[in-house]
Amino acid sequence: MSNVVEDFRSRILEKKPLRIRGSGSKDFYGGPLVGDVLETRAHAGIVNYEPTELVVTAKCGTSLAEIKSVLAARRQFLPFEAPSFGDDATIGGVLAAGLSGPRRMAVGSLRDFVLGTRIMDGSGRELKFGGEVMKNVAGYDVSRLMAGSLGTLGLILEVSLKVLPLPVAESTLRLEMTQADALAVMNRWAGKPLPISATCWHDGLLTVRLSGAEAAVRAAQATLGGEVLADADAFWDDLREQRAAFFGGETPLWRLAVPSVTPVLDLPGPILLEWNGAQRWLRGEFQPSTVREVMTTVGGHARLFRGASEAHRAVGVFRPLPPAIHAIHKRLKQVFDPYGMFNPGRMYSDL
Amino acid sequence: MGSGQRQHSAEAEQDFSNIDRAGLLAALAGILPASALLAEREDLKPYECDGLSAYRELPVAVALPENEAQVVAVIKACHAAGVPIVARGAGTGLSGGALPHVNGVVLSLAKMKKIVRIDPVACVAVVQPGVRNLAISEAAAAHGLYYAPDPSSQIACTIGGNVAENSGGVHCLKYGLTVHNVLRARVVLVDGEIIELGNHGPDAPGYDLLALFIGSEGLLGIVTEVTVKLCPKPQTAQCIMASFDDVMKAGEAVAAVIAAGIIPAGLEMMDKPATAAVEPFVKAGYDLNAEAILLCESDGTPDEVAEEIARMSAVLQGSGATEIRVSTSEAERLKFWAGRKAAFPAAGRISADYYCMDGTIPRKRLGEMLTAITGMEKKYGLRCINVFHAGDGNLHPLILYDANIPGELVRTEAFGAEILKLSVDLGGTITGEHGVGYEKINSMCDQFASDELGVFHAVKAAFDPPGLLNPGKAIPTLHRCAEFGRMHVHGGQVKFPELERL
Ligand SMILES: Cc1cc2nc3c(=O)[nH]c(=O)nc-3n(C[C@H](O)[C@H](O)[C@H](O)COP(=O)(O)OP(=O)(O)OC[C@H]3O[C@@H](n4cnc5c(N)ncnc54)[C@H](O)[C@@H]3O)c2cc1C
């Protein structure tokens, strides 16, 4: 047993609130930061990478950048394109945050690529769920439950992820149109066998990325029309990392997750659409109740992604849960973290 | 006795022998019309087992609700009476997941088979749990859409069963399993409360309970409605049938295809005994001289498919394929697959009984597994034919036996358990898609230590505190593992040392 893991255990056995932290790139996200920092970066390294098995296993403190470059050397990648928000994001933090990038609608979200995890629970026990194989239905899928759990269920020690080959060809197109037209077009295209791997609409411009076999990309380019965008990788990188101009400044940033067919929303303010319209970013000072009411009518949910005041973070930036589901959350928290030490309040104030 | 006092625990099997049968039947009769409540022996018979007929049990009653309100009422009645509930779809499961509980009610969702709506723009279908897997694709076909996961049982199995098992199909290498294609599930909890997991957007707030629920084998809740993602039908598809004179070479060819950066739409392997079993019935045109054949499919636009088929053919050739045939028509492509999809029924035709295993291993260990299986055939004196979802390392060895010959079933079970044990030892899992159910419950003790099993029981209790939903399945009690562990002591280490030996 490594010393680092033993250190983790002794910290956990102190039963004091712990704030699990990789590089801190997502410190802005979720509820308030409570507890003494438990640094994960000392537990780093790729444990296993088998290109022909399509799997990579890494310790929690491994940087996302390192994993990406090791995969790229074998022409593979993590298809969910998680944002890193900083240079040093760790894979443990990526899993805990559960965020996916531009390719999400085409290939699935982060949790779709989780094959296994090793965690340390609130009693200091090392637990292993899932594994390194593609198909595994033995026991409940606790590994995927860790995705997006914001470190509230345990210390993620290790994660196994499915990887895929890099697309042979890519091309990005740009078309001028209104938001309403873009929504119609993105949804229509999503129902057609087109190799669309990402979409983004903002300020009258629809940007569409195609990925796949040479022939498929070429044919789709002809069908879709528009201008080919030069330096497209930089565009998608800046979008994913929220470095694009739209994301600048201090105005609060709301993330709205809605059915992609939801029409233009009745919420004023600068807006940017991704994921065929299923993920919408909105800038503005809104009363949470205003945004939530709109979300309820369209069957979506909102979170205040960036720029929440301390007071707002304390009451919670995520949509409250229905009571029966909230009760299950509390019981699950109890299962993994009976002393309530891990990132208390980071997701909901009583978890 | 009410269920209030009873609390599910990880330690020992619950005892339900004291239930009030007459009271239960009276309560159910007040909820369901007579035609939807079965309690006579001959009516219960058809429900005594699922697709794994080696295990049979008669329940107290079978309830066949027609709508969600009736489902809720039945569950509340069972909850009040402390009676186990075993959900059932089409009963095609291969792990005894829908095996009745002798003191319980079978809750069949088969009558709830309405397609609630199809939204061709949002590419979703909202369906009741009893809708058959294939019926979704048939209904979506008019819009050029389909539901991707295609278990070989797709003409019969229900979406509720698929959700419960996280079922896969021959195309899941590229298109994913049930968990990747279900957006939302409406679930009735053990106390009759209804919750919705996931939604029609890309995600839901809170923990990913939908992912946790999928594959939970009817132990966490009863699904009453499902929203699935529909995919655009590829413009065209072509399938390669490649022959190999050595099973190992076929295994290496699979790795080579993936190493070349190709994710085929389907990548399946059958060994010689399997093709020999299938061919007389299906006439798929398989090469009967080959030691193994691979089916390798590409789909997409015509140009894309042509490009990929050329690349795949080159890799297969380079891996020593002795013959390569590419389907020249849709009819021929479907025939290639018909043979593969008929593998289980074909086994049933050449043998009185067959027992289907479902381990998954890292692809590179395939050779070791096949060699070991050959050895086990001799050891147990039974034949085994092999079909694999080769692309994702999911094996379906079919052990052929005759239940009427004394001792064969016992030997078959031992043979199967040894394959599962080896799957775990090779870095894999005891089940890739068929579930643990009743069948593989002992093998769970090979795969998981007592801490993980304890967590699984606690997760169940978080959804189902009294432990009434499909008790005795999927997750072994620590007591059971302690007993079983006596047979499987590894390297002198006693598993589950904290439990007293019997
Ligand atoms: C010939 C053959 C081929 C097969 N091929 C494949 C294959 O390629 N891939 C694959 O993955 N499987 C395959 N299977 C296995 C089986 O078809 C799948 O597991 C299928 O999903 C079971 O669906 P069902 O409706 O028959 O469920 P059942 O067998 O009735 O039930 C299965 C489990 O689901 C639970 N359940 C059912 N409905 C609900 C509900 N509404 N809510 C909660 N729990 C529920 C039951 O309690 C049980 O635990 C095959 C089976 C056969 C016989």
Residue B77 predicted with pLDDT over 50: yes
Examine the domain organization and report whether A127 and A257 are in the same domain. Answer: no
Across the range B337-348, mean pLDDT stands at: 91
Q: What angle in degrees, to the nearest 10, is found between the helix axes of B366-380 and B408-425?
A: 160
Assess: ipTM above 0.95.
yes
Q: Which of residues 128-167 of A touch B (CB under 8 A)?
A: 128-129, 131-142, 144-145, 147-149, 153, 164-166
Does the residue A321 lie in any domain? no
Does the residue A200 lie in any domain? yes
Three-class DSSP category at A214: helix
User: Could you tell me the residue range of the domain that residue A263 belongs to?
Assistant: 167-249+251-306
Which two structure tokens, joined as six digits, stand for B244?
């190999």
Does the residue A183 lie in any domain? yes
Examine the domain organization and report whether A72 and A202 are in the same domain. Answer: no
Examine the domain organization and report whether A257 and A150 are in the same domain. Answer: no
Q: Are B498 and B482 in contact (CB under 8 A)?
A: no
Q: What's the DSSP call for residue B77?
A: H
Q: Are B96 and B160 in contact (CB under 8 A)?
A: no
Contact state of B261 with A140 under an 8 Å Cβ cutoff: no
Does the residue A323 lie in any domain? no
Examine the domain organization and report whether A160 and A176 are in the same domain. Answer: no
Amino acid residing at A225: G
Shortest Cα distance from B369 to chain A (angstroms)? 15
Shortest Cα distance from B406 to chain A (angstroms)? 31
Provide the CA B189 distance to its chain's centre, in angstroms: 22
Examine the domain organization and report whether A192 and A213 are in the same domain. Answer: yes
Q: Does B80 touch chain A (CB under 8 A)?
A: no
Question: pLDDT value at position B483?
Answer: 85
Question: pLDDT value at position B161?
Answer: 98
Give the Å distance between the CA of B60 and the centre of ligand 1.
Answer: 22
Across the range B84-106, mean pLDDT stands at: 98
B223 lines ligand 1 (CB under 6 A): yes
Nearest CA in chain A to B119: A261
Take atom 50 of ligand 1 and give the residue whose Cα is closest: B153
Does the residue A311 lie in any domain? no
A chain contacts of residue B189, beta-carbon cutoff 8 Å: 324
What is the count of structural domains for chain A?
A: 2
Question: pLDDT value at position B361?
Answer: 96
- In chain B, the percentage of residues whose pLDDT exceeds 70 is 95
Across the range B35-46, mean pLDDT stands at: 98
B chain contacts of residue A191, beta-carbon cutoff 8 Å: 120-121, 123, 143-145, 230, 232
Average pLDDT, chain A: 97
Q: Does B416 touch chain A (CB under 8 A)?
A: no
B65 lines ligand 1 (CB under 6 A): no
Q: Are B176 and A108 in contact (CB under 8 A)?
A: yes
Does the residue A9 lie in any domain? yes
Shortest Cα distance from B473 to chain A (angstroms)? 11
Nearest to A52 by CA among A168, A213, A163, A211: A163
B104 lines ligand 1 (CB under 6 A): no
Question: pLDDT value at position B119?
Answer: 97
B chain contacts of residue A259, beta-carbon cutoff 8 Å: 122, 199-201
Examine the domain organization and report whether A161 and A179 are in the same domain. Answer: no
Examine the domain organization and report whether A98 and A123 are in the same domain. Answer: yes
A chain contacts of residue B200, beta-carbon cutoff 8 Å: 259, 299
Examine the domain organization and report whether A55 and A124 are in the same domain. Answer: yes
B94 lines ligand 1 (CB under 6 A): yes
B398 lines ligand 1 (CB under 6 A): no
Q: Long-range contacts made by residues B13-21, C-beta under 8 angstroms, separation at least 24?
A: B13/B471, B13/B472, B13/B477, B13/B479, B13/B480, B14/B467, B14/B471, B14/B472, B16/B82, B16/B83, B16/B84, B16/B101, B16/B103, B16/B104, B16/B471, B17/B103, B19/B60, B19/B81, B19/B82, B19/B83, B19/B103, B20/B81, B21/B60
B161 lines ligand 1 (CB under 6 A): yes
Q: Are B96 and B52 in contact (CB under 8 A)?
A: yes
Does the residue A350 lie in any domain? no
Contact state of A53 with B363 under an 8 Å Cβ cutoff: yes
Note the maximum CA span of chain B.
Answer: 69
Q: Does A299 touch chain B (CB under 8 A)?
A: yes
d(CA B248, CA B267): 15
d(CA B58, CA B43): 10
DSSP string, B85-127: EEEESSS--SSSTTPPPTTSEEEE-TT---EEEEETTTTEEEE
Shortest Cα distance from A144 to chain B (angstroms)? 6
Residue B497 predicted with pLDDT over 70: no
With DSSP H G I counted as helix, E B as strand and the rest as coil, what are the percentages for chain A, rounded to 5?
Answer: 30, 25, 40
A interface test, pick of B72, B147, B171, B301 with most A CB neighbours within 10 Å: B301
Of B194, B201, B444, the CB nearest to A301: B201
A interface test, pick of B7, B165, B203, B217 with most A CB neighbours within 10 Å: B203
Does the residue A13 lie in any domain? yes
- Tokens 């709506």 belong to which residue? B117
Shortest Cα distance from A161 to chain B (angstroms)? 14
Q: Write the CATH number for A100.
A: 3.30.465.10
**At residue A75, what are phi and psi to the nearest 5 degrees?**
55, 40
Contact state of A135 with B206 under an 8 Å Cβ cutoff: no
- Tokens 């006693």 belong to which residue? B494
Q: Are B157 and B204 in contact (CB under 8 A)?
A: no
Of B153, B186, B340, B353, the residue with max ligand 1 atoms within 8 A of its CB, to mutate for a pocket test, comes to B153
CB atoms within 10 A of CB B139: 19
Query: Mind listing the pLDDT tens digit for each residue in B382-419?
Result: 999 999 999 999 999 999 999 999 999 999 999 999 99
Examine the domain organization and report whether A22 and A36 are in the same domain. Answer: yes
Give the Å distance between the CA of B427 and the centre of ligand 1.
Answer: 25
CB atoms within 10 A of CB B297: 27
Examine the domain organization and report whether A148 and A199 are in the same domain. Answer: no
The residue ranges of chain A whose pLDDT is under 50 are none
Q: Does B434 touch chain A (CB under 8 A)?
A: yes
Examine the domain organization and report whether A114 and A11 are in the same domain. Answer: yes
User: To the nearest 10°, the Cα dihedral for A245, A248, A251, A253?
Assistant: 80
Give the Å distance between the CA of B93 and the centre of ligand 1.
Answer: 4
Q: Are B193 and B156 in contact (CB under 8 A)?
A: no
Q: pTM of this prediction?
A: 0.96
Examine the domain organization and report whether A241 and A125 are in the same domain. Answer: no
Atom number, ligand 1, closest to the C-alpha of residue B129 = 41
B chain contacts of residue A136, beta-carbon cutoff 8 Å: 360, 428-429, 431-432
Give the Å distance between the CA of B167 and the centre of ligand 1.
Answer: 7
Across the range B166-176, mean pLDDT stands at: 94
Question: pLDDT value at position B301?
Answer: 87
